[in-house]
Amino acid sequence: MGAFSGFRAFVPVLSILPAPHALPGSRPPAGKRTRLRRLTGDVGRGGLLACLVSALLVALPVIALVMIAGTGSGDLWPHLAAYVLPQALLDSLILLLGVGALTITLGSAAAWLVTACDFPGRRLLDWALLLPLAVPAYIIAYAWLDLWHPVGMPQTMLRELLGYDNPRDLRLPDIRSMGGCILVLGLALYPYVYLPARAAFRTQAAELMEAARLLGSGPWRCFFRVALPLARPAIAAGASLALMETLNDIGAAEFLGVRTLTVAIYSTWNNRSSLAGAAQIALFMLGIVLTLLFAERWARRHRHYAASARQNRRLARARLSGWAGWLACALASLPVALGFLLPVGYLVVEAGKRVRFDGIDPAIWIEVGNTCKVSALATLFVTALAFMLVNVQRRADRPLTRGLARVAGMGYAIPGVVLALGMMAFVGALDNALSAALERGFGLSVGLLLTGTSFMLVYACVARFLAVGVGGIEAGFCRIPHSIDDAARVLGAGAWRVAARVHLPLGWQAIAAAMLLAFVDCAKELPATLLLRPMNFETLATHLYGEAARGTYESAAIAALLIVLVGLPPVILLSRQGNDAPSAAARAPLDGKAA
């Protein structure tokens, strides 16, 4: 959703700094230090430790999940395999196909309209098309579910217009369906495709389109045969992010009656209290996620795009006037109206009604404090680890450090509910080991120290959104010339002094933007929060989920509106970035070469 550029979240930065043993008058180290330097360059043990800790944050819960799944689930697994898993898998695949098609269509079409055409309202729509990023999918589903009710405002007004009195006389298709879920998630997630596609279309050379027109191609053929293929890597990377968000979703799918794998995992653990059964479904789901990632990489294998060294002339926008211009404006406005204006307008009205009727519940401020506390702590850890990872990669890009950084960045690709299950198993085992050690050594019976505390939530957010911090900070640091690092090293500054005295002052804007993005993502995280929150600990997201599950929609309007207000700052930041594609760059858990 931050100040970043391009899809370069994990693009290796080749270090050109002179190693200490390469300076005149110094002797090369020997023995173990030499072998360590071959693996890590000259980052030393501190940099290697930072990479190792970051990778273990993500790897250990997954390893624990595999071990728990291997213990079996007794008589429950045959029931899950026969009755739960087939339907959940089918619903998930249909949902992925539908959301993928809708996000690619909406995102690519909107990006091409605002890039290649000039029509009334284009400047406003250029940034307004990003607004659905501020609204989590479960909030859009929550709003649409109440709006589209048979006695809701749209259907009531339509019946009055057509002269019907009874809701049974005229009833539109139910939003609680697979089609409704695809529509809601598509409206919420299309900006993931729109953002990189817009950047890709803007950077295409006008000469290519002009050459196609001279060869006899019309506007539509130029788009499908020239512009769209050149933008395909960016579109594919954005669509991959949208699909992973679809798999991660639990609120929208459950509200709209679609039983995905995520919903099946949550219900298996919450309703049947079977951690092993939930872990087995989670591993199956993790396999689907990895398949998506490898499929995206395979689809663009051996494909590279060459660019001229000179500055390319940008594509001139075609002027649309009259009915064509207003039609383009209406088409480009539709996703914004359905994905942002309508649900947010509903929240404002319902929140106003609630405040006038009963005031603001004091408990909401406790939930705001809980949300801010967890999000702020997680953001600090994310920023610190991301800053160290980026500096290690900038200083010495070696296979070991690069591999550890990629493992650390895979947290965003793992659905929150899967990561949460792995953490429950890992932290539970760690708690038992600590308790046993304290009892043996000091005779203290302390019980569980970490399980059931806010530590679990903070850990989940750090592991899941570390890629956000890495992507944002790295994209900002790419703009710092390496010659500045070289000058500092020649003057005697060590690696971490360069980071503190050079990178931090020059890259503070990128760091601040990455912090903002991480905070917002932590505040909106629902699946992991539902599983890991302590007893009697509510955040804004879990409050909204609970009220919607009970059907008391008006009581959750204030919490939903507060979440939307938290999500607006990064969207405003995005709109100021022009040609950049920060959100996808910050989040891309791919291999860094999407575009």
Q: Residue 573 belongs to a domain with what CATH number?
A: 1.10.3720.10
- Per-residue pLDDT at 184: 93
- Per-residue pLDDT at 224: 76
Instruction: Name the nearest CA neighbour of 2 among 590, 594, 588, 592.
Output: 588
Cβ contact 585:8 at 8 Å: yes
Residue 592 lies in a domain: no
CB-neighbour burial class of residue 123 (10 A; exposed 0-12, middle 13-18, buried 19+): exposed
Q: Give the integer Cα–Cα distance in Å for 264 and 245.
A: 16
pLDDT tens per residue across span 344-366: 988 888 888 888 877 777 888 89
Token pair belonging to 348? 């404002």
Structural domain including 256 reads 42-301+318-587
Residue 34 lies in a domain: no
Q: Give the integer Cα–Cα distance in Å for 548 and 138.
A: 10
- Per-residue pLDDT at 397: 63
Residue 161 lies in a domain: yes
Residue 28 lies in a domain: no
- Per-residue pLDDT at 269: 78
Q: Give the integer Cα–Cα distance in Å for 117 and 115.
A: 6
Q: Give the integer Cα–Cα distance in Å for 153 and 274.
A: 42
Q: How many domains are there within the chain?
A: 1
Cβ contact 262:247 at 8 Å: yes
pLDDT tens per residue across span 410-452: 888 888 888 888 888 888 888 788 888 887 877 777 667 777 7
Is 296's pLDDT higher than 80? no
First-residue to last-residue Cα distance in the chain: 18
Residue 593 lies in a domain: no
Residue 16 lies in a domain: no
**pTM of the predicted protein model:** 0.79
pLDDT tens per residue across span 494-531: 777 887 888 888 888 888 888 888 888 888 888 888 88
- Per-residue pLDDT at 581: 40
Task: Collect contacts of 85-93 with beta carbons under 8 A, ≥24 apart.
Answer: 85/264, 85/281, 85/284, 87/259, 88/259, 88/260, 88/261, 88/263, 88/264, 88/281, 89/261, 89/284, 91/178, 91/258, 91/259, 91/260, 92/247, 92/260, 92/261, 92/262, 92/285, 92/288
Dihedrals phi, psi of 260, to nearest 5 degrees: -85, 175
Instruction: Report the range out of 75-84, 259-268, 299-308, 356-365 with the highest average pLDDT.
Output: 259-268
Give how far the C-alpha of residue 593 lies from the chain's centroid of Cα atoms, to the nearest Å.
18
Dihedrals phi, psi of 117, to nearest 5 degrees: -125, 150
- Per-residue pLDDT at 102: 95
- Per-residue pLDDT at 96: 92
Within 10 angstroms of residue 89's Cβ, the number of other Cβ atoms is: 17
Cβ contact 467:514 at 8 Å: no
Quote the longest CA-to-CA distance of the chain: 94
Q: Give the integer Cα–Cα distance in Å for 437 and 164.
A: 73
> What percent of the chain is modeled with pLDDT above 70?
82
Token pair belonging to 259? 């039983």
Distances (CA, A) of 2 to 121, 283, 483, 507: 25, 31, 26, 14
Is 87's pLDDT higher than 80? yes
- Per-residue pLDDT at 487: 83
Cβ contact 332:320 at 8 Å: no
As a whole number, mean pLDDT of residues 366-388 equals 90
Q: Considering only residues 107 and 274, tell me which one the structure prediction assigns the higher pLDDT.
A: 107
Distances (CA, A) of 519 to 8, 62, 134, 273, 419: 21, 24, 13, 31, 19
CB-neighbour burial class of residue 65 (10 A; exposed 0-12, middle 13-18, buried 19+): buried
Is 328's pLDDT higher than 80? yes
Q: Give the integer Cα–Cα distance in Å for 7 and 286.
A: 23
CA dihedral for 251, 257, 258, 262, sign (positive or negative): positive
Q: Angle formed by the axes of helices 44-69 and 399-409, to 10°?
A: 50
- Per-residue pLDDT at 183: 93
As a whole number, mean pLDDT of residues 552-572 equals 81
Instruction: Name the nearest CA neighbour of 61 among 417, 516, 541, 302.
Output: 417
As a whole number, mean pLDDT of residues 382-394 equals 85
Which are the contacts of 168, defined by CB distance < 8 A and separation ≥ 6?
A: none
Residue 310 lies in a domain: no
Q: Give the integer Cα–Cα distance in Å for 63 and 66.
A: 5
Helical segments of 396-507, H only: 399-409, 416-442, 454-477, 482-490, 495-498, 504-506
Residue 30 lies in a domain: no
